[in-house]
Structure 1
Amino acid sequence: MQKMPQWADVLLIPLVSLILAAFFSAVVILAIGENPWEALKIMVEGALGSTYGWGYTLYYATNFIFTGLAVAVANHAKMFNIGGEGQAVMGGLGVALVCLYIPFPHWTLALLAAAATAAVFGAAWAAIPALLQAKRGSHIVITTIMFNFIAASLLNYFLIGPLKADGMEPATARFPEAARLPTFQDMFSSPDNPLFRGAPANVAFFVAILACIAVWLLIWRSRLGYEIRSFGWSEPAARYAGISPVRIIMLTMLISGGLAGMMAINNVMGEAERLVLNSAEGAGFIGIAVALMGRSHPLGVFLAAVLFGFLYQGGAELSLWTGIPRDMVVVIQALVILFTGALDNMVRMPLERVFSTLRRAPKPDSKSTTARTAE
């Protein structure tokens, strides 16, 4: 029997953790001599108070959806893919190669080709650590984080060598017009009603939503998803049922790496319109927090990604209009990660006791209740 309802595990625990993180963030802001209420108002106004703010919030959220889903899929097989950063970098390399060297007639074809190539490059980068774990027993955390550094070095090599454009900056040339994604400003603005002016949110946001739906169908509505979850719950039982550990490890990590690689269609193809250094922007590591907070469920990942998008954009506004440093956002993120991840049991165990008490509470006897009513 579950110790608490599923809705409490998915929604209530993250909500309480978020409230605790907000409380301690307010304490930190007070400690540096600023008003936490004013800071909150500036963050909300900067991130959600205009279409411009929403455009940046959803742009960041799109990155975090892809990397959060990547971590979530691996989590269901009880594997901790910490290599989303490197897989996203390699996905960006794939996007750049497709967009620079294939003449597309329209952005829709470019998007399909770039998304597929980014997924293949990300999956290929995850395949080596997966094979090392499946065949040699190497720990997936160690190998994936090492591959992040290798990916960064490869990106440096390509941007100062074969793919470098004219000029001093280590970056590729800009992609052709037909390989640039329409932004929210292009899609929703009109001459009389300009919206999302200058914001980088683009059509990749809707691809991220489709990815959430696809992951939900995979994990909870497919045979492979059942095998992934079975392997995650008990590897010996999965072996006994005829599920191949090598097959599950490889397929899970390929899917995970492919999702992380697809992040590049948002930041490389949609925002920068070229490949630059630090193209992943740390989203691979934020995806870990997003997956933990979202309980590895696509809906939870989506909501957590929007929250972290809000923190990114709101934090930028906070450092611009107050004396609070930009690093304060890192502190808030760390507190959210602390309470939703490391201190999860601090919230979970008291709530489990509350629900256990409610479940054991004696229910009124229907016959005696009827008799008292008759009297």
Structure 2
Amino acid sequence: MSKKMQQIVVPLISVVLGILLGAVIMLIFGYDPIWAYEGLFNTAFGSIKNIGEIFRAMGPLILIALGFAVASRAGFFNIGLSGQAYAGWIAAGWFALLNPNLPRPLLIILTVLIGAAAGGIVGAIPGFLRAYLGTSEVIVTIMMNYIVLYIGNAIIQNGFAKNLMRTTDSSIDVSKNASYQSDWLRALTDHSRMNLGFFLALAAIFLIWYLLKKTTLGFEIRSVGLNPKASEYAGMSSKRTIVLSMIISGALAGLGGVVEGLGTFGNVYVQTSSLAIGFDGMAVSLLAANSPLGILLSAFLFAALSVGAPGMSISDASHVGTPPELIKVVMALIIFFVGAHYIIERYIKPKKRKVKP
């Protein structure tokens, strides 16, 4: 097996092992895994509306996963995706609420740019600290999640004008011009919440693939991620590349927050904890081994599992419904096997190239 084929097979085996071990856990607790998985997939793919919801969920997952992938290619573990996404959501949502009557194309473009800028600024802080002060980006990004969460909540509660608020913790809905949902997508998917964010995510996949594979900056990002000292010796500025990669990473996460906020919910509201999509996006990227194309497929899997999870709780006279929270256990198991890929690779070793005499 070639090395490239191994990179494809390992995630697939991880998915299968995660599903199988999840089934074992269900059996241990007295649930029927076949019934549970049948309910999950019937719910996820049993209606046009739910298929539309899968595409809706994929948008922010793809964007945030791409953000994590860019940082990872530069050699950094960006755990601050939740905070960066929340910053983008609040900034874009606030602007949309203040300017409800701008033309729809202009408002969509401006919210994209503002959300990406807000996420990029939050991402730049740990990047700058790592590049110039040598601080751990893991610790800083974790702390930034809490900083953005509580500052963001305070801005919503105390900074938004009263006429923009429905309650003390939630704003009114943004105008139709600012919403990423559209009538034709709603009609096409039986009134699901599928929105323009999915198409933004597809465009971002191509752009990030092109950036990493075809541009000088992408080469520098990959080079610094592999060996920053050698990159410096070759004439690259590792500090500049570190900061730029974290800005790009944060901007993508910020855009993911905008898609979640203006596409799924249509308003801004106080969060009780860091956004779950930040950590889910990280898991999507890990499963895809930070490959932009792989992220598309990985996001589809995670979105389908998430949308179909309520179907696991369906019960009848002969079957007890399975708690849908168990699907989170399955997702965690999949990521566990991805993280422990060396165990799988031990049994599917790539072929060694024969050296011709």
Q: With structure 1 as the length reference, what TM-score do the two structures score?
A: 0.88
**Counterpart secondary structure, 1:178:** coil
CA contact (8 A) 2:85 2:258 kept: no
Q: How many Å separate the matches in 2 of 1:168 and 1:5?
A: 55
User: Does 2:324 correspond to 1:330?
Assistant: no
Q: How many Å separate the matches in 2 of 1:168 and 1:320?
A: 35
**Counterpart secondary structure, 1:285:** helix
Cα distance, 1:34 vs structure 2: 1.8
Q: Deviations over 1:69-103 (max 9, x none)?
A: 01000010110111000000000111112201224
Question: Larger C-alpha radius of gyration, 1 or 2?
Answer: 1
Cα 1:281–1:136 shift into 2, 3 Å: closer
Matches within 5 A, 1:211-290: 211-278=204-271, 281-290=275-284
Corresponding residue of 1:311 = 305
Q: For structure 1, which segment, 95-104 or 38-47, has the greater mean C-alpha deviation from structure 2 after superposition?
A: 95-104
Cα 1:174–1:91 shift into 2, 3 Å: same
CA contact (8 A) 1:170 1:276 kept: yes
Q: How many Å separate the matches in 2 of 1:320 and 1:170?
A: 33
Q: Deviations over 1:38-92 (max 9, x none)?
A: 1111111111221111122122211210110010000101101110000000001
Corresponding residue of 1:366 = none
Q: How many Å separate the matches in 2 of 1:106 and 1:319?
A: 44
Cα 1:262–1:320 shift into 2, 3 Å: farther
Matches within 5 A, 1:116-155: 116-155=113-152
Q: How many Å separate the matches in 1 of 2:72 and 2:11?
A: 17
Cα 1:195–1:280 shift into 2, 3 Å: farther
Matches within 5 A, 1:92-111: 92-111=89-108
Q: With structure 2 as the length reference, what TM-score do the two structures score?
A: 0.92
**Counterpart secondary structure, 2:351:** helix
Cα distance, 1:17 vs structure 2: 1.1
Q: How many Å separate the matches in 2 of 1:145 and 1:138?
A: 13
CA contact (8 A) 1:91 1:118 kept: yes
**Counterpart secondary structure, 1:44:** helix
Q: For structure 1, which segment, 321-330 or 293-302, has the greater mean C-alpha deviation from structure 2 after superposition?
A: 321-330
Q: Aligned to 1:210, which of 203, 207, 216?
A: 203
Q: Deviations over 1:4-59 (max 9, x none)?
A: 331321x1111111111111011111112222111111111111221111122122
Q: How many Å separate the matches in 1 of 2:2 and 2:87?
A: 41
Corresponding residue of 2:2 = 4
Q: How many Å separate the matches in 1 of 2:26 and 2:351?
A: 34
CA contact (8 A) 1:88 1:280 kept: no
Matches within 5 A, 1:17-96: 17-96=14-93
Corresponding residue of 1:177 = 176
Q: For structure 1, which segment, 53-62 or 117-126, has the greater mean C-alpha deviation from structure 2 after superposition?
A: 53-62
Cα 1:88–1:57 shift into 2, 3 Å: same
User: Does 2:299 correspond to 1:302?
Assistant: no
Aligned-residue Cα RMSD (Å) equals 2.0
Q: How many Å separate the matches in 1 of 2:188 and 2:37?
A: 24
Q: How many Å separate the matches in 2 of 1:139 and 1:349?
A: 32
Q: For structure 1, which segment, 256-265 or 308-317, has the greater mean C-alpha deviation from structure 2 after superposition?
A: 308-317
**What is the number of equivalent residue pairs in this alignment?**
348
Cα distance, 1:323 vs structure 2: 2.2
CA contact (8 A) 1:13 1:347 kept: yes
Q: Specify the code of the residue in structure 2 equivalent to 1:328.
A: L
Q: How many Å separate the matches in 2 of 1:151 and 1:123?
A: 13
Cα distance, 1:264 vs structure 2: 2.4
Cα distance, 1:167 vs structure 2: 4.6
Q: How many Å separate the matches in 2 of 1:89 and 1:159?
A: 12
CA contact (8 A) 2:60 2:197 kept: no
Q: How many Å separate the matches in 2 of 1:53 and 1:306?
A: 13
**Counterpart secondary structure, 1:324:** coil
Q: Deviations over 1:91-136 (max 9, x none)?
A: 0111112201224443222111101000000000111111111111
Which is bigger in relative contact order (C-alpha 8 A, separation at least 6)?
Answer: 2
Q: Deviations over 1:269-299 (max 9, x none)?
A: 1121111123974011111111111111100
Q: For structure 1, which segment, 277-286 or 141-150, has the greater mean C-alpha deviation from structure 2 after superposition?
A: 277-286
Q: How many Å separate the matches in 2 of 1:222 and 1:167?
A: 46
